[in-house]
């Protein structure tokens, strides 16, 4: 059985074997679930990178060149608008 101690302020160290088994990385958040019978389950909260691609977009990606061109056009329009205001 793996054990850890809770400090006076509340933190505890998750044993290395548990971190490795769950793939927990430094500074990763954990989700705690307290059940009615008094048991607790803990699971790592997925990172934003782990969620990448999990949602399907309705729009097709135009491609990097098209995105850069759109950004340049947007910046040019913004700059022209600011020049008119001055």
Task: Quick: pLDDT tens for 58-70.
Answer: 878 788 899 899 9
Which has more pLDDT, 72 or 55? 72
Confidence of residue 8 (pLDDT cuts 50, 70, 90): very high
Taking 3-state DSSP, the helix, strand and coil percentages for the chain, each rounded to the nearest 5, stand at 40, 10, 50
Element (H, E) at 22: helix 16-22
pLDDT grade, residue 86 (50/70/90)? low
pLDDT at residue 82 tops 70: yes
* pLDDT at res. 85: 67
């Amino acid at each position: 059985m793996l054990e850890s101690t809770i400090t006076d302020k509340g933190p505890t160290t998750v044993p290395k074997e548990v971190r490795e088994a769950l793939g927990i990385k430094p500074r990763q958040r954990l989700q705690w679930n307290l059940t009615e019978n008094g048991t607790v389950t803990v699971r790592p909260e997925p990172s934003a990178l782990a969620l990448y691609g999990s949602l399907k977009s309705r729009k097709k990606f135009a491609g990097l060149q098209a995105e850069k061109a759109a950004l340049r056009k947007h910046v040019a329009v913004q700059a022209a608008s600011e020049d008119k205001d001055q």
